[in-house]
Chain A
Amino acid sequence: MQKQANMKIIKVIVAIAVFVSINTACSKFVEYDPQQDYQITANDYLKTSDDYNKMVIGVYSPLQWLYANPVIGDVASDNSVSGGENATDVLGLQQIDDYQLTTNNSYLTEAWKSCYEGINRANYLHENKAKLEFAGKDALYGEVYFLRAYYYFELVRMFGDVPLFTEKRLTASDSKGFQRTAKADVYKQIEADLNTAITKLPVVNVQKGRVTKYAAQALLGKVLLYEGKYDAAATMLENVVNGPFQLVTNFGDVFLQSGENGTESVFEIQYSNISPFYDWSNPGRGQGNLAVQMCGVRNLAGSSPYGQGWSINLPTKNLADAFSAGDKRKAVTILDIEAYKTANPAFNITYLVAPYKNTGLYSQKYQPRKGETSGQVELNYTNNYRTIRYADVLLMAAEANNRATTPNDTKAQLYLNKVRRRAFGDLLHDITSTGATLKQAIWDERRLELAMEGDRFFDLVRTGQAATKITGFKTSKNELFPIPQQEVDISGLTQNTGY
Chain B
Amino acid sequence: MKKALKRINLLSLFVLLCSISWAQGKVVSGKVLDTGGQPVSKASVLVKGSKLGTTTDESGSFSLNVPETAKTLVVSSVGYTTQEFSITNASMKLVLEPVQAKMDEVIVVGYGTQRITKISGSISAVKGADIEKLKPVRAEDALQGRASGVTVVSSGSPGVKPTVLVRGIPSYTGTDPVVVVDGAIQTLDDLNSINPADIESINVLKDAATTAIYGVKGGNGVIVVTTKTGRKSQKAEFNYNGNYAVQEVMNTIGVLNASEYAAIVNEGSVASGGNLIFPNISNLGAGTNWQNQIFKQSPMQTHTISARGGSDNMSYFLSGGYLNQEGIVGGGDKSFFNRINATSNLTFDLTSKLKFIANTSFTNIKNAGVPENAINSVISNALNFDPTVSILNSVPGTYGKYSTSQYILSEIINPLTQLNDTYNKGNTNKMYGKLELQYDLFKNLKLSSRFGYTNTDVTVKSFNPLSYYGTSHINSTMNADGTAKPGSHNSVYEAKTNYFNYTFETFANYRFKLAKDHNFETVLGFSMARVTGNNISGSRQDVPFNSWNFADISAATGIATNSGLDVGSYQYERRNLSYFARADYDYKEKYLASATLRRDGSYAFGANNKFANFFSGSLGWVVSNEDFFKSDFINQLKIRGSYGITGNENVSPQYQRISTLIYSYGLGQNAGYTFGNEPTSVGATIASFKNDDLRWEQQAQMNAGLDLRFYKNKFSFTGDYFRKDISGLLFTPTLSLYLGTAAMPTANIGTTQTSGIDLNFGYTDQFGKNFKFSTNITYTQAKNLVTETNKGLITGGGYGIPYQTVTRFEKGYAPGYFFGYKTDGLFQNQAQINASATQPGAQPGDIKYVDVNGDGKINADDRTNLGNPFPDFTMGWSLNLEYKGFDFTSFVYASVGNKIYRAYERNLAMTNKFRNVLGRWTGEGSTNDATLPRFSFIDANNNTRASDRYIEDGSFIKIKNLQLGYNFSSAALKRAKISKLRIYAQVKNAITLTKYTGFDPEISGGIFDTGVDRGAYPQARSYAVGLDLKF
**A44, CB-defined interface residue at 8 Å:** yes
Q: Tell me which residues across on chain B come within 8 A of A112, comparing CB atoms.
A: 737-738
Complex CA–CA separation, A45 to B563 (angstroms): 28
**B767, CB-defined interface residue at 8 Å:** no
Q: Tell me which residues across on chain B come within 8 A of A89, comparing CB atoms.
A: 802, 942
Bitwise, A29-64 to B at CB < 8 A (1) or not (0) is 111101011111111110000010011111111111
Complex CA–CA separation, A51 to B658 (angstroms): 11
**B1005, CB-defined interface residue at 8 Å:** no
- A32-B603, A58-B673, A209-B676 given; name 20 further pairs at CB < 8 Å: A22-B506, A23-B577, A30-B576, A30-B602, A37-B573, A40-B660, A42-B658, A87-B942, A102-B861, A116-B740, A121-B685, A172-B691, A207-B676, A275-B680, A276-B562, A286-B663, A308-B474, A375-B563, A490-B791, A491-B737
Q: Is the CB of B658 within 8 A of A40?
A: yes
- Closest A residue to B857 by beta carbon equals A100
Bitwise, B503-542 to A at CB < 8 A (1) or not (0) is 0001010000000000000000010100000000000000
Bitwise, B730-752 to A at CB < 8 A (1) or not (0) is 00011111111110110000000
Complex CA–CA separation, A210 to B605 (angstroms): 42
Q: Tell me which residues across on chain B come within 8 A of A114, comparing CB atoms.
A: 741
Complex CA–CA separation, A113 to B564 (angstroms): 27
Most chain A CB within 10 A, of B442, B689, B691, B738, is at B738
Q: Tell me which residues across on chain B come within 8 A of A88, comparing CB atoms.
A: 840, 859-860, 942, 945
**A189, CB-defined interface residue at 8 Å:** no
Q: Is the CB of A57 within 8 A of B684?
A: yes
**A287, CB-defined interface residue at 8 Å:** yes
Q: Is the CB of B508 within 8 A of A15?
A: yes
Given contacts A55-B683, A277-B663, A375-B564, contact A484 B737 (CB under 8 A): yes
**A132, CB-defined interface residue at 8 Å:** no
Given contacts A30-B577, A64-B673, A172-B735, contact A87 B666 (CB under 8 A): no
Given contacts A117-B740, A486-B734, contact A279 B663 (CB under 8 A): yes
**B941, CB-defined interface residue at 8 Å:** yes
Complex CA–CA separation, A271 to B691 (angstroms): 35
Chain-A contact segment, one of B126-134, B649-657, B1013-1021: B649-657
Q: Tell me which residues across on chain B come within 8 A of A484, comparing CB atoms.
A: 737
Q: Is the CB of A275 within 8 A of B672?
A: yes
Specify which of B447, B655, B735, B742 is in contact with A490 (CB 8 Å cutoff): B735
Specify which of A8, A51, A282 is in contact with B666 (CB 8 Å cutoff): A282
Bitwise, A270-301 to B at CB < 8 A (1) or not (0) is 11101111111110011100000000000101
- Closest B residue to A95 by beta carbon equals B859
- Closest A residue to B507 by beta carbon equals A19
- Closest B residue to A277 by beta carbon equals B663
**B768, CB-defined interface residue at 8 Å:** no
Given contacts A55-B685, A121-B740, contact A42 B656 (CB under 8 A): yes
Q: Is the CB of B671 within 8 A of A491?
A: no
Q: Which positions 59-113 of chain A face chain B at CB distance < 8 Å? A: 59-65, 85-89, 91, 94, 102, 104, 109, 112-113
Bitwise, A196-209 to B at CB < 8 A (1) or not (0) is 00000000000111
**B885, CB-defined interface residue at 8 Å:** no
- Closest A residue to B601 by beta carbon equals A30
Chain-B contact segment, one of A174-182, A329-337, A472-480: A174-182
Q: Tell me which residues across on chain A come within 8 A of B682, comparing CB atoms.
A: 54, 57
**A489, CB-defined interface residue at 8 Å:** yes
- Closest A residue to B671 by beta carbon equals A58
Given contacts A30-B601, A282-B667, A355-B938, contact A11 B441 (CB under 8 A): yes
Specify which of A15, A38, A172, A353 is in contact with B744 (CB 8 Å cutoff): A172
Interface residues of B (CB under 8 A from A): 272-273, 409, 441-442, 447, 472, 474, 486-487, 506, 508, 526, 528, 562-564, 571-573, 575-577, 579, 601-605, 610-611, 653, 655-658, 660, 662-663, 665-686, 689-691, 733-742, 744-745, 791, 802-803, 840-841, 859-861, 937-942, 945
Complex CA–CA separation, A51 to B737 (angstroms): 26
Can you spell out 26 A-B residue pairs with CB atoms less than 8 angstroms apart?
A30-B575, A34-B653, A34-B657, A36-B573, A42-B658, A54-B671, A58-B683, A60-B673, A61-B671, A87-B840, A113-B740, A117-B742, A120-B742, A124-B685, A171-B690, A172-B691, A172-B744, A208-B678, A209-B676, A270-B674, A272-B677, A275-B562, A275-B662, A301-B409, A484-B737, A491-B738
Q: Is the CB of B736 within 8 A of A487?
A: yes
Specify which of A165, A261, A286 is in contact with B670 (CB 8 Å cutoff): A286
Complex CA–CA separation, A58 to B681 (angstroms): 9
Q: Is the CB of A169 within 8 A of B686?
A: yes
**A374, CB-defined interface residue at 8 Å:** yes
Q: Is the CB of B656 within 8 A of A57?
A: no
In the A-B complex, the 6 residue pairs with the smallest Cβ-Cβ separation, listed nearest first, are A282-B668, A208-B676, A57-B683, A87-B840, A58-B683, A285-B668
Given contacts A26-B528, A37-B571, A271-B674, contact A374 B689 (CB under 8 A): no
- Closest B residue to A209 by beta carbon equals B675
Q: How far is the CB of B570 from chain A (nearest CB, A)?
A: 9
Q: Tell me which residues across on chain A come within 8 A of B564, comparing CB atoms.
A: 276, 278, 375
- Closest A residue to B676 by beta carbon equals A208
Q: How far is the CB of B155 from chain A (nearest CB, A)?
A: 24
Complex CA–CA separation, A272 to B526 (angstroms): 56
Complex CA–CA separation, A121 to B667 (angstroms): 16
Q: Is the CB of A86 within 8 A of B942?
A: yes
Q: How far is the CB of A97 from chain B (nearest CB, A)?
A: 11
Q: How far is the CB of B674 from chain A (nearest CB, A)?
A: 4
Q: Tell me which residues across on chain A come within 8 A of B562, comparing CB atoms.
A: 274-276
Given contacts A171-B689, A172-B735, A275-B562, contact A54 B683 (CB under 8 A): yes
Q: Tell me which residues across on chain B come within 8 A of A287, comparing CB atoms.
A: 662, 670, 672-674, 680
Q: Is the CB of B680 within 8 A of A272?
A: yes
Q: Is the CB of A44 within 8 A of B658?
A: yes
Complex CA–CA separation, A371 to B488 (angstroms): 12
Q: Is the CB of A61 within 8 A of B673?
A: yes
**A424, CB-defined interface residue at 8 Å:** no
Q: Is the CB of A32 within 8 A of B571?
A: no
Specify which of B655, B672, B803 is in contact with A34 (CB 8 Å cutoff): B655
- Closest A residue to B576 by beta carbon equals A30
Q: Tell me which residues across on chain B come within 8 A of A59, comparing CB atoms.
A: 683
- Closest A residue to B579 by beta carbon equals A23
- Closest B residue to A91 by beta carbon equals B860
Q: How far is the CB of A482 from chain B (nearest CB, A)?
A: 13
Q: Tell me which residues across on chain B come within 8 A of A286, comparing CB atoms.
A: 663, 670
**A245, CB-defined interface residue at 8 Å:** no
Q: Tell me which residues across on chain B come within 8 A of A272, comparing CB atoms.
A: 674, 677, 680
Complex CA–CA separation, A328 to B742 (angstroms): 46
Given contacts A40-B660, A276-B564, A299-B409, contact A355 B738 (CB under 8 A): no
Q: Tell me which residues across on chain A come within 8 A of B942, comparing CB atoms.
A: 85-89
Q: Is the CB of A116 within 8 A of B684?
A: no
**A356, CB-defined interface residue at 8 Å:** yes
Q: How far is the CB of A174 from chain B (nearest CB, A)?
A: 7
Q: How far is the CB of A287 from chain B (nearest CB, A)?
A: 5
Q: Is the CB of B738 within 8 A of A57?
A: no
**A470, CB-defined interface residue at 8 Å:** no
Q: Is the CB of A29 within 8 A of B528?
A: yes
Q: Tell me which residues across on chain A come within 8 A of B610, comparing CB atoms.
A: 30-31
Q: Is the CB of A32 within 8 A of B604?
A: yes
**A163, CB-defined interface residue at 8 Å:** yes
Q: Tell me which residues across on chain B come within 8 A of A11, comparing CB atoms.
A: 441-442
Q: Tell me which residues across on chain B come within 8 A of A40, comparing CB atoms.
A: 657-658, 660
Complex CA–CA separation, A301 to B470 (angstroms): 13
Q: How far is the CB of B536 from chain A (nearest CB, A)?
A: 13
Q: Is the CB of B740 within 8 A of A208?
A: no
Q: How far is the CB of B838 from chain A (nearest CB, A)?
A: 9
Q: How far is the CB of B401 from chain A (nearest CB, A)?
A: 25
Q: Is the CB of B526 within 8 A of A19?
A: yes
Q: Is the CB of A120 within 8 A of B506?
A: no
Q: Is the CB of A58 within 8 A of B684?
A: yes
Q: Tell me which residues across on chain B come within 8 A of A308, comparing CB atoms.
A: 474
Q: Is the CB of B685 within 8 A of A61?
A: yes
- Closest B residue to A90 by beta carbon equals B802
